[in-house]
Amino acid sequence: MSNQAIALENLFDADFYRANNTDLRNFNNQQALQHWRDYGLAEGRVFSPFVDLNFYRSRNADLANLNNRQLLDHLATWGLNEGRDFSRFIDLNFYRDSNPDLANQTNRQRFNHLLNFGADEARAFSPFIDINFYRAYNADLASLNNRQLFNHLIDWGLNEGRNFSPFIDLNFYRNSNRDLASFNNRQLWEHFTSYGRFELRSLDAIPYNAISGYGLVNAAAAVAAAIGQSPFPDVPDTGLFNVDNNRIKAPEVWNRGYTGQGVVVAVLDSGVDYRHSDLDSNIWTNTREIPGNGLDDDGNGKVDDIRGWDFVNNDNDPMDSLGHGTHVAGIIAAENSGFDATGVAYNAKIMPVRVASTYYYINGATLAAGIRYAADNGADIINLSLRVDPTYNEVSQAIRYAVGKGAVVVSAAGNRLSIGDIVPDYPARYATHFGIAVGAVDSFVNTLTNFSNRAGTTRLDYVTAPGRSVYSTLPGNRHGYDSGTSFAAPQVSGIAALILSANPNLSPVQVERLITANTNSTRSGFSLANSTNQTQGLAALSASFDSVTGDFIEPESNDFGSSNTA
């Protein structure tokens, strides 16, 4: 395949051609194709949402003298293999990096994959376009499939100024660049893709940097924004064991009565000690199963999965084998006993899903099965404090599936900075389009730990939370401290639970946006004034930036720095 040109017919989209050429709207598919071959291509008519010949010409000076037919022949025969830019909407390098199962394919093969499968599967194909975000913030488009959404964005959405990405705001781009004040939305997009992104112009009112992403999470601001209010006022700190809860302003949310009630958080990990006295009342129960009858009452393929499932041993006892998962679960939802650890969302329910038996190896198929189980059994949030080989395409597919089912996916960024892993590990790196990645800051200063993977220059939903010496539950009714992004991520899962307990009508995209736009750095950048209506825009407020760029170096106490458990 790599040495063959793509058939020109495969680049042609009859629906797109008709929609953009009103004089041809009555043509059937064969008539539209014949018209394009005979006239449309030479006339420069647009024929595909994936290919822009004018852009191809402008980005490749050696092709300036070619006519449209010659340009298309060049693209199909050589340009794709050479990795030339051919579209303002598609980035094949990004498509490769966001879909590790395509890493060994040529550009031509990747483009064919996008045409035939990727667009329908809503795979990430551009750092600046998010089809799920476009659907979530445009309720009138909810019934469109992924390919139709993409076509709508190109045909109408850009011109109408619709929101299509959490990372670029065309109104902000216009207002922050006076030389662009007279540009319409499509001209702004064309300027950004041709010049602005390379000139490092400001894209969005919400500040982001390659070290700490959007910065330290702020529960009081995020939950208040979820119900259209200003950040909740400060309350007195709640004690030594709650130092991290105080840092992320969870007590301010509790004071308003939002404690995670009604929210299920799946912990995919080494299991959970569901008998722990600080967790036993907050363990999810599968009410569709009759305990101990030896039957699969709910028909999900799991017999007597009363409290979750062990995908390592394939049984109904997800008891913790390492202690890691119990520590994570306590950070999310340890009961508010008045002493020892208190979870961020202490009235949420924990769904134990055991997918790991060691720190050093997690099977991708096992993890994917666990993610699908959690989504199918009603998990509102899925916590992934782990690392997996990116070649397991099942994991990325499972995450997309879970988000489609309404689950917020929160992943630890990883603890491998010391061995050169600067950007987040997988699955956290999927947060360009799916879920949230979480880095770790030190407990008393707002600087990233010396082990936490950084955000990276490619924008993704990356925030930070305390990850040094985090106090929580351990198996056998014990408590203790541990360090790692594994224990920063569940604090963000807890905040997501607080948000959903305040406003259960939000989509995963909206929850992610509320968290990233209301950190200590972004200062309540967005609010949902009417959260039951997804077309209600997120109103941009004033933003200030506390540049978090340094490292606070101290002896490392992270036991999981080189393991598959982040």
Residues known to be catalytic? 269, 324, 486
51: how many CB neighbours lie within 10 A of its CB? 23
Q: How far apart are CA 41 and CA 495, in angstroms?
A: 52
Residue 261's nearest CA partner among 317, 231, 307, 223 is 223
Residues 341, 330 contacting (CB under 8 angstroms) = yes
Both structure tokens of 123: 């795979």
Q: Which residue has the tokens 């060049």?
A: 74
> Among all chains, which residue has been given the structure tokens 């609010």?
527
Q: Three-state DSSP class for 41?
A: helix
Q: 38-41, long-range: CB within 8 Å, 24+ apart, which pairs?
A: 41/68, 41/69, 41/72
Report residue 453 as tokens.
């993977």
- Residue the block writes with tokens 């003298």: 65
Rounded CA separation 437/563 (Å) = 17
Q: Tell me if residue 211 falls in helix, strand or coil.
A: coil
Residue 532: closest CA among 499, 507, 496, 498: 507
C-alpha to C-alpha distance for 43 and 49, rounded to whole angstroms = 17
Rounded to an integer, what is the distance from CA 247 to the centroid of its chain?
24
Contact status, residue 14 vs residue 29, Cβ threshold 8 Å: yes
Nearest to 381 by CA among 415, 356, 344, 413: 344
378: left (phi over 0), alpha (psi -120 to 50) or beta: left
How far apart, in whole angstroms, are the C-alpha atoms of residue 346 and residue 472? 12
DSSP H helices in 28-91: 29-35, 41-43, 53-59, 68-74
The string of DSSP letters for 223-250 reads: HHHHTT-PPPPP-----GGGHHHHHTTH
Determine phi and psi for 462, rounding to 5 degrees: -120, 125
Rounded distance between C-alpha atoms, residue 456 and residue 210, angstroms: 4
Helix (H) or strand (E) holding 331: helix 324-333
Other beta carbons within 10 angstroms of residue 279's beta carbon come to: 24
What one-letter code names the amino acid at 99?
N
Question: Of how many residues is the chain composed?
Answer: 566
Q: What contacts 152, CB < 8 A, 6 or more positions away?
A: 141, 144
Strands 381-384 and 408-412: parallel
